[in-house]
Amino acid sequence: MAQTAADKIWNTHIVRSDDDGQDLVYIDLHLLHEANTPQAFDGLREQNRRIRRPELTLGTEDHVTPTVGGTDISGGVAERYLTHMRRNCHDFGIELFSLGHESRGIAHVIGPELGLSQPGTTIVCCDSHTTTHGAMGALAFGIGTSQVEHVLATQTLPMRRMKNMRVTVDGVLPPGVSAKDLVLAMIRRIGTAGGQGHVIEYQGQAIRSMSMEARMTLCNMSIEAGARAGLVTADDVTFEYLRGRPHVPQGAAFDEEVEYWKTFVSDEDAVFDKEVRLDASTLSPHVTWGTNPSQTVGLAEVVPSPSEFADPVERLAAERAVAYMDLEPGTPMKTVPIDAVFIGSCTNGRIEDLRKVAEVWKGRRVAPDVQVYLVPGSEGVRRQAVKEGLDRTFEAAGVQLRSPGCSMCVSVNGERLAAGQRTASTNNRNFEGRQGPGVRTHVVSPSVAAASAVLGRLAEPNDLEDRT
């Protein structure tokens, strides 16, 4: 029977199938971070269990780490979380990239960067944005704390098979339009539950012509459409990205591995439970106006009126959103002033994103009254940015390149804004209070964030031409 790529990965990982419809699935890579894991280790201690495959498990510190001030974590939330994390990883023999480690970064940035996330594999992490690794042609999904404990103890997970959804993206993205805009447009169309229970496989010309980093942005935000996972099957772009990375086979062994990886593609006649089709060539920069990622419009559009929503639940959500966001329906998005800009996160904190920002800022300065947080996704990204001299462009623009971490994506490290402030952010969620109580978040692409920082209002790079 014809199979999808996700089914092929699943089928090659079944340890046992149970009568109740659940499969026990083998896990190839388990990433851990300091949020959400302490209880899992407590559970193991209580049962006197060890880690089944510590060498397939890797910890990193990302959520609570400070982005300035070095490795000092004394006092506050970082000390509390990281003390637990360090003790747990030490006691159970798990490698941990602590503050100061040259490979540390956000879990979903370092997996691909180090070549740990590979095609045809199963990858889990105690984090919803584990979907990011699907860009590598892997079946990657977030798990809860009790599942973390199960994987630590057994390297397997009992689960029901995911349904298959295909999003075909025809054409190519116009200049200045990114994967971020594409995924926002998709979520606007299908809603935050549009992918529920499914793994979304992205196909089509637009996907094939995307860089790995753009594919990661796309798969990262699949969770915002409610999907269990996002997936782009591996091709030459994937193989070239992976070649030479620390954790992939080297030399001739790599080419052999590529042949194996190539088998994880959907059969031509594979049937998907749900199909969506988009045309990339018609897209423009997008921005969220509300408090969930489906509340999105084109940057050139206006704040919608709640009355435009036929569905009563959506209308109510829109009413609440415009009130929280303090926006008047009918207001052109490009006239909305901002107080701050956050560039970073596992959605858009990679080197390609920083290059786009540098391109916009070259020879310009950010508006003096806009607070800018520029946070690379990993130490590797930071090093590469410095190597390319991007840090000098940022400095000349008036912005400091910080140390990596989640930072203002979720603000659990204490880096947050004041109530009532408004940001343009390259992260993935615009939920109420995510960047601080009462803070208003507009999710955008790196280019839009960079242009907005210069003009002090929501803007795209084309809007800057009249100032230079």
Ligand X SMILES: CC(C)[C@H](C(=O)O)[C@@H](O)C(=O)O
The residues that touch ligand SF4, with contacts defined as CB under 6 A, are 62-63, 106, 127, 129, 345-346, 406, 409-410, 427-428
The reply to whether 409 sits in an annotated binding site is: yes
- DSSP for 75-101 reads SHHHHHHHHHHHHHHHHHT-EEE-TT-
Task: Identify what 371 binds: ligand X, ligand SF4, none; CB under 5 to 8 Å per kind.
Answer: none
Cβ neighbors of 1 (< 8 A, separation 6 or more) are none
Task: Identify what 35 binds: ligand SF4, ligand X, none; CB under 5 to 8 Å per kind.
Answer: ligand X
Choice from 63, 228, 286, 416 touching ligand X (CB under 6 A): 63
Between 36 and 421, name the residue whose CB sits nearer to ligand X.
36
State the Cα–Cα distance between residues 58 and 246, nearest whole angstrom.
Answer: 14
Task: Identify what 288 binds: ligand SF4, ligand X, none; CB under 5 to 8 Å per kind.
Answer: none
Tokens of 101: 């480690």
421 is an interface residue for ligand X by CB under 6 A: no
Looking at the DSSP assignment, which residues form a beta bridge with residue 275? Answer: 166
Classified as helix, coil or strand, 25 is strand
The reply to whether 89 sits in an annotated binding site is: no
Task: Identify what 36 binds: ligand SF4, ligand X, none; CB under 5 to 8 Å per kind.
Answer: ligand X
Residue nearest to ligand X as judged by C-beta position: 128
Closest distance of CB 96 from ligand SF4, Å? 17
State the Cα–Cα distance between residues 356 and 450, nearest whole angstrom.
Answer: 8
Q: Which stretch in 96-104, 125-133, 287-295, 305-313 sits in contact with ligand X by CB under 6 A?
A: 125-133
Between 142 and 461, name the residue whose CB sits nearer to ligand X.
142
Task: Identify what 106 binds: ligand SF4, ligand X, none; CB under 5 to 8 Å per kind.
Answer: ligand SF4
The reply to whether 406 sits in an annotated binding site is: yes
Between 60 and 296, name the residue whose CB sits nearer to ligand SF4.
60
- DSSP for 117-151 reads S-TT-EEEESSGGGGGGGGGT-EEEE--HHHHHHH
Closest distance of CB 243 from ligand X, Å? 30
State the Cα–Cα distance between residues 148 and 168, nearest whole angstrom.
Answer: 33
Tokens of 276: 């969506």
Between 178 and 428, name the residue whose CB sits nearer to ligand X.
428
Closest distance of CB 409 from ligand SF4, Å? 3
127 is an interface residue for ligand X by CB under 6 A: yes
Closest distance of CB 229 from ligand SF4, Å? 15
State the Cα–Cα distance between residues 311 and 60, nearest whole angstrom.
Answer: 42
State the Cα–Cα distance between residues 201 and 205, nearest whole angstrom.
Answer: 13
State the Cα–Cα distance between residues 329 and 290, nearest whole angstrom.
Answer: 11
Choice from 22, 98, 103, 128 touching ligand X (CB under 6 A): 128
Q: Give the residue among 318, 79, 120, 125 at the shortest CA–CA distance from 232.
A: 120
Spatial contact of 218 and 179, defined as CB atoms under 8 Å apart:
yes
Task: Identify what 286 binds: ligand SF4, ligand X, none; CB under 5 to 8 Å per kind.
Answer: none
Between 54 and 142, name the residue whose CB sits nearer to ligand X.
142
- DSSP for 381-436 reads HHHHHHHTTHHHHHHHHT--B---S-GGGT-TTS----TT-EEEESSS---TTTTS
Choice from 36, 98, 211, 281 touching ligand X (CB under 6 A): 36
Binding residues: 346, 406, 409
Binding residues for [4Fe-4S] cluster: 346, 406, 409
Contact residues toward ligand X (CB under 6 A) are 35-36, 63, 127-129, 142, 410
